[in-house]
Amino acid sequence: MGAQWKAKPKEAAANARGKIFGRLVKEIMIAARNGADPDMNPKLRLAVHQAKKASMPKDTLERAIKKGAGLTGETVNFERATYEGFAPHQVPVIVECLTDNINRTVAEIRVLFRKGQLGASGAVSWDFEHVGLIEASPEDGADAELAAIEAGAQDFEPAEEGDVLFVTDKTDLDAVSRALPEHGFTVNSAKIGYRPKNPVTSLTPAQMEEVEAFLEALDNHDDVQDVYVGLSGE
Are residues 105 and 207 located together in one domain of the fold?
yes
| Length of the chain measured in residues | 234
The CATH number of whichever domain residue 156 belongs to comes to: 3.30.70.980
Band (pLDDT 50/70/90 cuts) for residue 11 is very low
User: Is 92 inside any structural domain?
Assistant: yes
How far is 37 from 43, CA to CA, in rounded Å?
Answer: 10
Q: For 202-214, what is the mean pLDDT?
A: 94
Q: For 72-86, what is the mean pLDDT?
A: 89
Q: For 101-130, what is the mean pLDDT?
A: 96
Range of the domain at 22: 13-68
Are residues 128 and 22 located together in one domain of the fold?
no
68, 94, 113 - which closes a domain: 68
How many structural domains is the chain composed of?
Answer: 2
3-class DSSP state of 129: strand
User: Is 5 inside any structural domain?
Assistant: no
pLDDT of residue 94 exceeding 50, the answer is yes
Are residues 146 and 100 located together in one domain of the fold?
yes
Are residues 225 and 135 located together in one domain of the fold?
yes
Q: How far is CA 8 from the centre of its chain?
A: 15
pLDDT of residue 54: 87
Are residues 128 and 175 located together in one domain of the fold?
yes
Q: For 43-72, what is the mean pLDDT?
A: 91
Q: What is the pLDDT of residues 193-206, one digit of tens each?
A: 999 999 999 899 99
How far is 139 from 164, CA to CA, in rounded Å?
Answer: 11
Q: Is the pTM of this model over 0.75?
A: yes
Are residues 147 and 188 located together in one domain of the fold?
yes
pLDDT of residue 2: 47
User: Is 2 inside any structural domain?
Assistant: no
Are residues 160 and 215 located together in one domain of the fold?
yes
